[in-house]
Amino acid sequence: MKNYDKQTIAQIRKPIVQAAIIMLVFYAIEIPMVHFNVFPDVNTRYIADTIIRAAGGTAGLILLNGYSKRGESKCTLKQLFTNKISGKTWLIMIPQIINILLPFLNIFIATVFTTRYILTLSILIVQQFATGFYEEGVQRGLMMNGLIKFNISTVKRRLFTVLVTGLFFGLGHAPNIAFGENPLIQVPSAMCIGMFWAAVYMLSDNLLLVMLLHAFADSTFRIVHGLFGYAREGFLYQAVECSRDIIEYVILPVLAICICIWFDKLKNNAPEDGST
């Protein structure tokens, strides 16, 4: 962040620090709640988790709205939920949309259909939308507030913004090891997807869009897995998983870099001098 005065640097760093604090508070509540089995009933635990995430996302949006009112944001909070999404942005999102829909192919190899866990599944899906609201509100909306306003004028600055946001998003999932997740898998995956969502957010100026992308990306495979039983050794299942891995680890980060490079053309902007 060279060539910025101290005030600008502070306006970039402050929301990043605030986002990190919200995440730390979230884990400070969530990890003990799960570790000490405060809610033995799984449905109650999912509901409590949903409430915590909704509160974290709301805190992020309140802080983001404060920046907007002080003129320290590129867009107002209302605009971040209403900005029109261009056709070019929709085209770029096709691989992400395919990735979201791919799990439904497993229905064709399903051997069991059950509604036994429909209540738990319904609560879980609401939780996933709360996750999209929380993580995007904090790690895209709040964290990227200063970066988007001051640090996207050149290719190098856009790449820095997207890479830093992706890394932040990936490392933000490392504490999930406390919930039995493998950080060697989840952190790189979250980083790659986070880079793409950051680039899409930077391009669209639409926070609602990335919230919904996140929510649906986390929901579809859970819906299929919750309603259907199927063998995980078959060709179709393995093909679906391999395709999703290729999209997440290769195609999405490459598209994020392409957005950074051709940002001005995609936005129909005239590039600034020295933009490369």
What pLDDT, in 10s, does the model give residues 195-207?
A: 999 999 999 999 9
CA distance 49 to 52: 5
pLDDT at 275: 46
CA distance 109 to 231: 7
Tokens of 107: 């229905």
At 2, is the pLDDT very low, low, confident or very high (cuts 50, 70, 90)? Answer: low
219 Cβ contact partners less than 8 Å away, ≥ 6 residues apart: 125, 128, 129
pLDDT > 70 fraction of the chain, expressed in percent and rounded = 96
**Farthest CA pair distance, the chain:** 62
Closest of 245, 127, 139 to residue 192, by C-alpha: 245
At 30, is the pLDDT very low, low, confident or very high (cuts 50, 70, 90)? Answer: very high
56-76 pLDDT, tens digit per residue, is: 999 999 999 999 999 999 999
Does an H or E element contain 251, and which?
Answer: none
229-242 pLDDT, tens digit per residue, is: 998 888 999 999 99
CA distance 204 to 83: 7
Task: Strands of 167-265 (E only): list them.
Answer: 228-230
Q: 111-137 burial string, b = 16+ CB within 10 Å, else e?
A: eeeeeeeeeebebbbbbbbbbbbbbbb
Residue 144 has pLDDT above 70, yes or no: yes
Q: 242-256 burial string, b = 16+ CB within 10 Å, else e?
A: eebeebbeebbbebb
Does an H or E element contain 193, and which?
Answer: helix 183-204
94-138 pLDDT, tens digit per residue, is: 999 999 999 999 999 999 999 999 999 999 999 999 999 999 999
